[in-house]
Amino acid sequence: MRDSPLLKIVWAHLTGRKRQTIVSVLGVMFGITVFIFQAGMITGLQDYFIEKTINSTPHIEISSESDASKTPVAAKAYKGSSDIWFSIRNQKDREEFDKIKDGLQIADLLESHPDVYGVSPSLTSQAIFKLGVIDVSAVVYGVDIRMENRLFNLEQDIVQGSVTRLETVNNGLILGSGLAERLDASLNDNLNIVSPNGVTLAMKVVGIISTGLRDLDDQRAYASLRNAQKLMKVQSSHITDISIKLKDIDKAPELANEFERRFGYQAEDWREKNASVFSVFKIQNIVTYLVIISIMIVSGFGIFNILTMMIYEKMTDIAILKAIGYTDKDIRVIFLSEALLIGFAGGVLGLVLGFGISIIAASIPFEIEGFVTSERLNVNFDPLFYTIAFFFGLLTTAVAGLLPARRAARVDPLHIIRSQ
């Protein structure tokens, strides 16, 4: 009951200056719309990438990649002694293809680890792919296709051919879609693969796969583990990588450390492997929030201006309200409510408009080629954004209204009444 006259005054003020009110509501609306749309788009893309990464790449990858800077044995032997100086000339590494020792046994051990969903051992090597006159350098990925398929659901990403043909066709090969494009290869083409140590193998394209992750699609070709080993001239126990999928992805960093300690090979979790991408995401996010914050500050200034003008215009109203018994607090409430009402209206409209634009944007076909390839914008419709955007809008308007409201509350009625 006591609030109703205040609300009535608020309403009279807002409707009395319709144009200004509408402009400031639009200002807030615009800010919120941009917030919703931009945050939805940026994080939508990021989430899409993360989802793809989690689905199509190992959560933890154990690899044989040895430290490039091998310390010479002599250096190890004399480590810590300052009396002895030595120098090693013409140091030569043994020519040796990278390998995880007892890799298959390690894979078996990991398979039975309670936190592990599954493992897939593989032999990876750079190779030259030759088709007609085209030479392309890419990665041959020798796998047990059943194990690989269980982890990464390759079947779902196959666009031509099939996964099982890798087992049935002798010397079969599944090409990444980007790689196939570069080679101008199509299904059932025969091509030659030349390994770094000179072995050439004639292989047949039995499938083309498109995961949506650019790195994978452009660089990778799947072969059977046996064929890869033939290509590298190594024994059938020789593997270079173990892909691991976990039951709980959040445990990846912790388990990666554990495996690295236990087996003595480098174990990287998926975040570490994609660190460069995540740092780009971080910068994206910072830029996004800066843009949003500056828009909100601008609309905040708009509200500040309009309320300040309103106070000058309504000075006598304020004075008379005080003379007939309205307290400073009442006056403050009036002007703060005006700001908050503008914020509320702008917020609601902004949410609706942002949602609408997001839906439209998500439905328009749009080729994306970046970290990921996708046929449309992946917009995030997380309700959390909508909540944050709305309260952010209210907060901005409240802050913008605070100063004018305080100024209004400090108006001295005597000063106004006597000067007229």
Partner 1 sequence: MLEARHLDKYFREPVKFHVLKDINIKVEKGEFVSIVGSSGSGKSTLLYTLSSLDTDYDGEVLIDHTDLRSLSNDQLARLRNSSIGFIFQSHYLLPDFTAIDNVMLPGLKLGRLSKQELLTAALEKLDLLDIRDEADKAVNKLSGGQQQRVAIARALINDPKIVFCDEPTGNLDSKNARMVFDLLKELAHGLSQTILMVTHDESYKTDRQIRLHDGQVVS
The rounded distance, in Å, linking the Cα atoms of 395 and 387 is: 12
What letter represents residue 115's amino acid? D
Identified binder of partner 1 from the candidate list 80, 114, 198, 325, rule CB under 8 A: 325
Asked if 13 interacts with partner 1 (CB under 8 A), we say yes
Question: In terms of CB distance, is 90 or 420 closer to partner 1?
Answer: 420
- Binding residues among 172-231 for partner 1 as defined by CB under 8 A: none
Tokens (6 digits) for 102: 């007892």
Asked if 317 interacts with partner 1 (CB under 8 A), we say yes
Give backbone dihedrals phi and psi of 224, rounded to 5 degrees, phi first. -75, 155
The rounded distance, in Å, linking the Cα atoms of 274 and 252 is: 13
Question: In terms of CB distance, is 16 or 356 closer to partner 1?
Answer: 16
SS3 category, 85: coil
CB of 34 to partner 1, least distance (A): 34
Query: Total number of residues binding partner 1 (CB under 8 A)?
Result: 28
Identified binder of partner 1 from the candidate list 231, 319, 372, 411, rule CB under 8 A: 319
The H helix count followed by the E strand count for the chain is: 17, 12
The DSSP annotation for 211-224 comes to -SBHHHHHHEEEEE
CB of 329 to partner 1, least distance (A): 7
Identified binder of partner 1 from the candidate list 1, 84, 133, 364, rule CB under 8 A: 1
Tokens (6 digits) for 89: 């000339």
Q: Which of 221, 220, 226, 254 is nearest to 238 (CA)?
A: 226
The CA-atom distances, in angstroms, between 16 and each of 20, 271, 342 are 9, 56, 14
69: which DSSP letter? S
Question: In terms of CB distance, is 99 or 322 closer to partner 1?
Answer: 322
Asked if 309 interacts with partner 1 (CB under 8 A), we say no
Convert 296-322 to b/e letters by CB count within 10 Å (16 or more is b): beebbebbbebbbebbeebbebbbebb
Identified binder of partner 1 from the candidate list 102, 108, 155, 328, rule CB under 8 A: 328
Question: In terms of CB distance, is 8 or 70 closer to partner 1?
Answer: 8
Identified binder of partner 1 from the candidate list 251, 272, 362, 413, rule CB under 8 A: 413
CB of 337 to partner 1, least distance (A): 15
Asked if 94 interacts with partner 1 (CB under 8 A), we say no
Binding residues for partner 1, rule: CB under 8 A, are 1-2, 4-5, 8-9, 12-13, 16, 316-317, 319-330, 413-414, 417-418, 420
